[in-house]
Structure 1
Amino acid sequence: MGVRLSSIDVCHASKIVSNDVYLEHFKRQGKDIKHLLVDVMGRDKRYMFDDGESSLSLAINASKTALKNVNLEGGEIDVLVYSSILSEYIVPVTSILIHKKLNMGSNVMCIDVNANCAGMAIALENMSNYLMSSKRAKRALIIGCDDDNALVDPNNELCYGNYGHAACAMILEKVNDDCGLIDNEYYVHTSIIDKVMYPSCGFSSFLKSKNVDGLYLKWQPFNSDFFVSNAVEIMIRMLKNNGLTKDDISMFCFSQLALGNIEKIRELMNIDEDKSIYIGNKYGYTGTSSPFIALYESIKKNKVKRGDYIMIWTFAAGSQGIVILYKY
């Protein structure tokens, strides 16, 4: 028995915004961010919300399409997990609002998770194990959508212009087949715990002082080399422990935060560009959904087929990383 990723779909925002908007924005501040935005982060354009769009509306649309792709109704889902750094609503939890829109049944576990950019990957690992152990639940719907752009300081070139809006929904299903989660490993480093924070002063202080600056995500420069080195170390060890090599992996689906990170991993592991797809130049950085949008694009382009092995790596502020070995 295994847990199959039976459907995956993406819904992105409708407005396309090019780099020119942000290059001009920072030029007026006397800053030249072209090298950072293009060479390091790898941005070209991104999908951004138009009027009437939100992380909730994108999540609902992605979920409906993911269900339709495998001829399922909302009532056939047993678990709904929504991953976001800042949900459209926190009371009630956004997963319950999605539950209503999908006409789901009454005996459904609905939870919102926030592990920042690692949230959707952690949900995949958690729900795979939950379905295997549950006597009742057969299917889980996992949705990820972030609106990081709502948090960022327009004067901070490290993050403003980096993000895009896109939701990803995937359905996990318990099946009598050899597929699903093979292995995973987490790693935590708190040496940069104060570099990316929201609210920057903490909610207890922010709600008392109503400090306008506290509305913005605090993002200070930090060295990401240890993210990459830890990921590479874990991936090499995980492949060896499971009797595989990098050549057995059809696609490496990495965090799309920065093209520079992906290029370092390619070099250290001797991975071809064709097997480590980068989509951050098209979507922008979408946070929790980013490695799964890479997977979605890989499947759509027929680079990943049923029975193929994939590896997923992503990390979150603080920092927490996760590597997953998966049989699609």
Structure 2
Amino acid sequence: MSISKARITAIGSYAPKHILTNSDLEALVETNDEWITQRTGVKERRIASKEEFTSDLCIQAVANLVHTYNQTIDDVDMIIVATTTSDFNFPSVACLVQDHFNIKGTGAMDLNATCAGFAYALHLANGLVTARLNRKVLVIAGETMSKVTDYTDRNTCILFGDGAGAVLVEYDEHDPSFISSHMGTNGGGGIHVYRSGLSEVMQGIPLQGCGNIVQNGREVYKWAVRTVTEGTTQLLEQSQTTWDNIDWFVPHSANLKMIESICAKVNFPFEKTLHSATYNGNTSSASIPLSLHTAVQQNKLKYGDQIIIYGFGSGLTHAGLLIKWGIKNLT
């Protein structure tokens, strides 16, 4: 059982204005709306402009959080940004966020756990705050996946979009959010979804893609369904609870068909999942906070709800948390 002393107190998000629909993709690759929808559930995705980068999306998400909840972030003492598409190799996106808001006296770091990044960042923030190493952590997940997508590859370009989400994690020993956590890695499966870089081979296999995403969707699908099923079981056993007590399931929005398969495996109603794939596509680490914030805006997600979030992606890596939603409803 958790000894957490950290609570999620505010949330914000941002998605670029430009929309790329399934119909738009018909002009780029051999595909159509029916084919994409049946296989992924994605109808459209938001795309950053040439002048818009991951730090810009993250800054907008934080600004949305500050405005919506009338929050002060001058006293934030750690910024964690989960991303795989940073503006530069260095400086980090977290440093760019710190500079924009002129937050003095804060640490700043980027974390790369791909599509599991938001769950990993929350896990880290909870640990830092519970250990009293920090008192107020700004956790951000932001991606510009469109900048690393090959729009001649119909197997990947139909999936990805851009966006960012942010939450505040603060010290609260009386009303903590974090109940249990579970994570794991299967590095041997990294060859099934990667973005090539300096190395030309992985596990002795020549790489493709020239810096863009390459994915073996079938293998990732099978791994994800099996792994998330097992991981959520671990979360529930740790907390000595069952799916009957879970209000919402929030998996990474990779593909709605995949989420349906996971729900069927664990016998949880798909209608009680929160996702962002339909109108945002697969936004990697940003998909879970986008799903959460959308649910807050739609008045679905309420203070005190018990939720399971579960991220999974390249690495292959995965992480999940059982959380009591700690954000008080706005009046």
Q: Same fold (TM over 0.5)?
A: yes
TM alignment of 1:152-301, pairs within 5 A: 152-199=149-196, 202-204=197-199, 214-223=210-219, 224-301=221-298
After TM superposition, the score normalised by the length of structure 2 is 0.89
After TM superposition, the score normalised by the length of structure 1 is 0.89
C-alpha distance after superposition, 1:141-167 (max 9, x if no partner): 011111122112222112113111111
Distance 1:36 1:124, change over 3 A: farther
Task: Name the structure 2 match of 1:60.
Answer: 59
CA distance in 2, matches of 1:153, 1:213: 8
Query: What amino acid maps onto 1:214 in structure 2?
Result: C
Specify the SS of the correspondent of 1:100: helix
Query: What amino acid maps onto 1:56 in structure 2?
Result: S
Q: Does 1:26 align with 2:23?
A: no
Distance 1:33 1:192, change over 3 A: farther
Task: Name the structure 2 match of 1:46.
Answer: 45
Distance 1:19 1:33, change over 3 A: closer
Task: Name the structure 2 match of 1:76.
Answer: 75
Q: Does 1:150 align with 2:147?
A: yes
Match of 2:323 among 312, 321, 326: 326
C-alpha RMSD over aligned residues: 2.2
Give the drift of 1:184.
Answer: 0.9
Task: Name the structure 2 match of 1:88.
Answer: 87
Task: Name the structure 2 match of 1:317.
Answer: 314
CA distance in 2, matches of 1:92, 1:278: 31
CA distance in 1, matches of 2:190, 2:34: 26
Task: Check the 8 A contact 1:141/1:170 in 2, yes or no.
Answer: yes
Match of 2:301 among 276, 299, 304: 304
Task: Check the 8 A contact 1:74/1:103 in 2, yes or no.
Answer: no
Give the drift of 1:318.
Answer: 2.6
CA distance in 2, matches of 1:138, 1:70: 18
Q: Does 1:123 align with 2:126?
A: no
CA distance in 1, matches of 2:76, 2:323: 22
Number of residue pairs aligned between Structure 1 and Structure 2: 316
Give the drift of 1:73.
Answer: 2.9
Task: Name the structure 2 match of 1:14.
Answer: 17
Give the drift of 1:74.
Answer: 3.1
Task: Name the structure 2 match of 1:37.
Answer: 36
CA distance in 2, matches of 1:198, 1:51: 20
Please list every run of 5 or more consecutive structure 2 residues that lacks an aligned counterpart in the other structure. 202-206, 326-331
Query: What amino acid maps onto 1:111 in structure 2?
Result: M
CA distance in 1, matches of 2:114, 2:162: 15
Please list every run of 5 or more consecutive structure 1 residues that lacks an aligned counterpart in the other structure. none
Query: What amino acid maps onto 2:244 in structure 1?
Result: D
Task: Check the 8 A contact 2:6/2:177 in 1, yes or no.
Answer: yes
